A = this chain, B = another copy of it.
């Protein structure tokens, strides 16, 4: 993959539509990945986002202790792997190997990028004040990468229990809203 740097001011355009994402972490040199849909934008630039990672997820410990993560956005062709990643735990599974996902070194954080995803966002935890109450983390996006070879990727949107809406047509309306 020839990753291309993506402008931080445009990151919101990728996350705001609500795609299912993969969250990678690394603890003591061991990478892990989980599936996540509870995230939102919080600020345009520098891009801040919020996400909920349950204590029940093995990734919680790594995110909490290292303060680093990568958010990778999968397109439709990865739907099967996205579900499988979500249905097992890093506590007893080497998910990258098991599901044929390729870790790539990030620039500023330890957790790996995922080669097969069309977008990867290197993130650092910025605020943990709502972690105790809601498992809610505020992350800052440090670097954003896209795979220019994946043209017009269709993202997935989770509707519960393995049901996903795939992106359909794009419509354009006259708007001043950023």
Q: List residues of A whose CB falls within 8 A of some B CB.
A: 10, 12-13, 16-19, 35, 37-43, 48, 50-52, 76, 79-80, 83, 86-87, 127, 129-130, 133-134, 136, 138, 154-178
Contacts and interface: CB of A to CB of B under 8 A. Distances in A.
28 contacts: A10-B160, A16-B38, A16-B158, A17-B18, A17-B37, A17-B165, A18-B18, A35-B177, A37-B41, A38-B41, A39-B40, A40-B50, A41-B52, A42-B52, A42-B134, A43-B52, A50-B136, A83-B175, A127-B133, A159-B170, A161-B178, A162-B177, A163-B172, A164-B172, A165-B167, A167-B167, A167-B168, A168-B169
B86 A175 contact: yes
- Quickly give the copy total for this chain: 2
Given A16-B160, A18-B19, A160-B10, A154 B168 contact: yes
Given A18-B17, A50-B136, A168 B165 contact: yes
A162 B42 CA distance: 19
B175 A171 contact: no
Nearest to A14: B159
A174 B84 CA distance: 9
A172 B38 CA distance: 20
A55 to B, nearest CB: 12
A162 to B, nearest CB: 3
A79 B171 contact: yes
Nearest to A82: B173
